[in-house]
């Protein structure tokens, strides 16, 4: 039987080569056990995002991303480098929600990350 932890791990390890869109979205980011802080999302896919992070974040740490007009989205930190954090969503972002965000904030189009 699949546990909540197993589902979490599956979503966090989802295809990291999913098309990512470069954009600029004001957001709020909060690490588990920490206070929320203002951030900017730099790229987004249905499986994750990268964003500015003034606070050091650690691989595997849980966090919550809040985008304008949406409820908080749970994610897991995959990497942190020089005040930028890369995270995988715990549950894949709905393609409809993803497309709506892109229509509202996209400024440079879709690119494929190098995997």
Question: What pLDDT is stored for residue 16 in this prediction?
Answer: 53
For the cut 60, the answer to whether the pLDDT of residue 19 exceeds it is: yes
Query: What is the predicted pLDDT for the residue at 18?
Result: 66
Q: What CA–CA distance (Å, rounded) separates 54 from 42?
A: 14
Q: What percent of the chain has pLDDT over 90?
A: 65
Specify the pLDDT at position 20: 76
Per-residue pLDDT for 115 more than 50?
Answer: no
Cα–Cα distances (Å) from 114 to 7, 16, 19, 47, 107, in that order, read 26, 9, 10, 15, 20
């Amino acid at each position: 039987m699949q546990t909540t932890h197993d589902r979490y791990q599956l979503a966090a390890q989802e295809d990291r080569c999913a098309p990512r869109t470069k954009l600029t979205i004001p957001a709020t980011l909060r690490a588990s056990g920490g206070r929320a802080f203002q951030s900017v999302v730099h790229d987004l896919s249905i499986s994750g995002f990268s964003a500015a992070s003034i606070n050091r974040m650690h691989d595997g740490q849980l966090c919550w991303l809040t985008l304008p007009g949406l409820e908080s989205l749970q994610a897991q930190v995959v990497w942190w480098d020089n005040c930028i954090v890369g995270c995988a969503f715990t549950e894949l972002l709905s393609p409809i929600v993803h497309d709506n965000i892109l229509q509202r904030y996209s400024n440079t189009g879709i690119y494929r990350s190098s995997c």
